[in-house]
Amino acid sequence: MTRPAELSTTPAGHAHSAGHTHCPYCALQCAMTVTEADGGPYVEPVWFPTNRGGLCRKGWTSAQLLDHPGRLETPLIRVGGEGRLEPCSWDTALDHIAEGIRRAQSRGGPDGVAVFGGGGLTNEKAYQLGKFTRLALGSRLIDYNGRWCMSSAAAAANRSFGVDRGLPFPVSDLSSARAVLLIGANPADTMPPFLQHLATAADAGGLVVADPRLTATARRALDGGGVHLRLRPGTDAALLLGLLHLVVVAGRLDTTYIAARTTGFDEAWGHAAAWLPERTERVTGVSVAQLERAVELLADARDADAGAYVLTARGAEQHADGSDVVGAAIALALALGLPGRPRAGYGTLTGQGNGQGGREHGQKADQLPGYRSIADPAARAHVASVWGVEPEEIPGAGASAFELLDSLGREGGPSAMLLHASNPVVSAPDSGRVRERLGALDMLVVSDFVLSETAALADVVLPVPQWAEEEGTLTSLEGRLLRRRRSVTPPDGVRDELWIWRELARRLDRGPERFPVDPRAVFDELARASAGGTADYSEITWDRLDAGEALHWPCGADSPDGTPRLFTERFATEDGR
């Protein structure tokens, strides 16, 4: 991918430093360098298996926010009740927050304070935020904005496979595939470097795109002789069940695989049996010929061991029945015998920059580090031993993002919230109600680097680093751990979230020594806490990552070199099927 001249971000001036890192904007996490120069920071692409030296427009322009004129450089506090936000010192801001926490919890108990996180936080910050909420605040009430993104896919993957990793294989595996069914995604516009990995399938006429619109990705499929399944909006489940029906009646079912590696096929067929091709055409608007061609392409590629994949994304998942839609896509892939097979599989394209890692280590309401259930006594005992507390000191499950935000300021609900890496006034469903509930709080604290729409409602705003100003790790959509390196010096008045949480723990007298501010130390603890969990990082170290090792989770005692490809022998379910 060549660099468009109009997107040049290289300024005139002397370059002072360059740091190798990854783009913050999506889970492909394209590699780049960020250089701090007299004329301002700029980025250059780096070859990496996911982006192969390419960047999209978001990546090329990512440095522009680093010296944004609206950058927050000092805490802000609201004066006079409904008055303006005014600059204040860090001590004043943190003292005010601590007092607000004590006041809220004196009335509502530990759950008088809620915490909201985001998929843009590093692994270390996502982990520490969950720990801070449960130990320093003693609250059950933490969740994050990934509930509006990956929830349907995560629920379906956990139900079918026993594990939720966006791609259970490296992205580069797609590059040699001859057939790919892509439903609910337009990566040509939203994730352009990813399109390189679909080129072989597209050029072979094997790219099948299911989308109500003629998107740029659909055009790429048609240009190569592939198929655009232009379904009616909201008929994704019908389309997938119709394809599953055709797999069976056309004799393309992998019966050996079904018998050896799955359970419940009869139940899946019970849903698909009624979706005859003609009915599927009437409901979806996709012709029988196109349905048959899609099945033929996938099954022929599988039989030739030429690479066959089924991929879903937000367009298919963000429905009232999103989990069922993803479940139907997984059932189709299983019927074809793809998951766990070399050069084949099912996957979902994760969205946010750390959308994968952000949902693995404890900022979800029902989760402990390592993708463990907070209701599992063994998980609670293990994490408690790492944290140096008794299992009973870890609160139970809280409320998911939807319920949590709706409970704000209501009787019996939290009266204070600490919000990080999210702007729900813009991004949340039913944003008008979210604004109303945030406004009902006695105290809203927002950490951000600009005065976002949500921050503008806050009682206290805390300026925090941007992506190029912090150290940490991220986890890509393929489950690979990556290093985020500090390349740019933040403004003097900015403080890191790890420091903020320690200072609040100090003011609340809740063991500030339990909340280190060194991200490497936090990662080491995270790795120990994840040991034995589904997302096991325990054999991963910063030194290994800095040495360039490709480490995909699980990477624990049984798999010290990582697991780039899941399900090769068994699924992560109790019976392995």
Query: So what's the pLDDT on residue 18?
Result: 66
% of the chain with per-residue pLDDT over 90: 92
Sign of CA dihedral 506, 508, 509, 515: negative
- pLDDT tens, position by position, 357-379: 999 999 999 999 999 999 999 99
What span, in angstroms and rounded, lies between the C-alpha atoms of 365 and 246?
A: 40
Q: Which two tokens stand for residue 27?
A: 């889970």
Look up residue 561 and give its two tokens.
Answer: 């070199």
> Stretch 218-245: mean pLDDT, rounded?
98
pLDDT at 1: 35
pLDDT the model gives residue 215: 98
Task: Yes or no: say if 53 and 30 are a contact pair by the CB < 8 Å rule.
Answer: no
Distance CA 526, CA 280 (A): 48
Cα-Cα end-to-end distance for the chain? 41
**Nearest in space to 545 (alpha carbons), one of 533, 562, 530:** 562
User: What distance in Å separates the CA atoms of residue 448 and residue 494, rounded to the nearest whole number?
Assistant: 10
Identify the pLDDT of residue 82: 75
Question: Cα–Cα distance between 443 and 420 in angstroms, integer?
Answer: 14
Judge whether 311 and 348 are in contact, CB under 8 Å. Answer: yes
Tell me what pLDDT residue 14 has: 45
Is the CB of residue 574 less than 8 Å from the CB of residue 504? no
Quote the CA–CA distance of 437 and 117 in Å, as a whole number: 17
Which tokens hold the place of 255? 């019966």
Radius of gyration of the chain (CA): 24
Residue 187 pLDDT greater than 90, yes or no: yes
Q: Which helix (DSSP H) or strand (DSSP E) does residue 419 occupy? A: strand 416-420
- Tokens representing 577 are 């099927």
Beta strand ranges found along 184-296 (DSSP E) = 207-210, 227-229
Mean of all residue pLDDT scores within the chain: 95
Q: Is the pLDDT of residue 15 over 70?
A: no
pLDDT tens by residue, 51-100: 999 999 999 999 999 999 999 999 999 998 778 999 999 999 999 999 99
pLDDT surpasses 60 at 5: no
Q: Are strands 207-210 and 179-183 parallel, antiparallel or unpaired?
A: parallel
The answer to whether residues 523 and 531 touch, using CB atoms and an 8 Å cutoff, is no
The model's pLDDT over 330-356, given as tens digits with 9 standing for 90+, comes to: 999 999 999 999 999 999 998 889 999
At residue 39, the pLDDT reads 84
- pLDDT score at 152: 86
Structure tokens, 509? 């007298």
Tell me the angle at which helices 519-530 and 377-387 cross, rounded to the nearest 10 degrees: 150
Residue 571 and residue 161 in contact, taking contact as beta carbons nearer than 8 Å: yes
The pLDDT, as a whole number, for residue 563 is: 98
Torsion angle of the four alpha carbons 356, 361, 365, 367, in this order, in degrees rounded to the nearest 10:
110
Nearest to 421 by CA among 489, 470, 492, 350: 470
Mean pLDDT lowest for which of 11-20, 248-257, 323-332, 375-384? 11-20
Whose tokens are 């009915």? That residue is 279
Is residue 8 pLDDT above 70, yes or no? no
d(CA 321, CA 316): 9
- Residue 289, class by beta-carbon neighbours within 10 Å (0-12 exposed, 13-18 middle, 19+ buried)? exposed
Residue 13: predicted pLDDT? 45
| Closest among 417, 421, 313 to 27, alpha carbons compared | 313
- The pLDDT confidence band at residue 319, using thresholds 50, 70 and 90, is confident
Model confidence at 305: pLDDT above 70: yes
Mean pLDDT of 260-280: 97
Predicted confidence (pLDDT) per residue in 122-177, tens digit: 999 999 999 999 999 999 999 999 888 878 888 999 999 999 999 999 999 999 99
Domains along the chain with CATH numbers:
5-67 (2.20.25.90), 76-148+354-469+490-519 (3.40.50.740), 151-348 (3.40.228.10)
- For residue 442, what are the contacts with CB-CB under 8 A and spacing of at least 6? 100, 103, 104, 409, 415, 416
Among 198, 238, 240, 237, residue whose Cα is nearest residue 215: 198
Q: Which two tokens stand for residue 136?
A: 């320093």
How far apart are alpha carbons 564 and 370 in whole angstroms?
17
Residue 552 β-bridge partners: 480
Tell me the C-alpha to C-alpha distance, in Å, between residue 379 and each of 93, 338, 376.
Answer: 36, 32, 5
C-alpha to C-alpha distance for 325 and 159, rounded to whole angstroms: 13
Written as one string, the DSSP assignment of 261-279 is H-S-HHHHHHHHTT--HHH
The SS3 of residue 104 is: helix
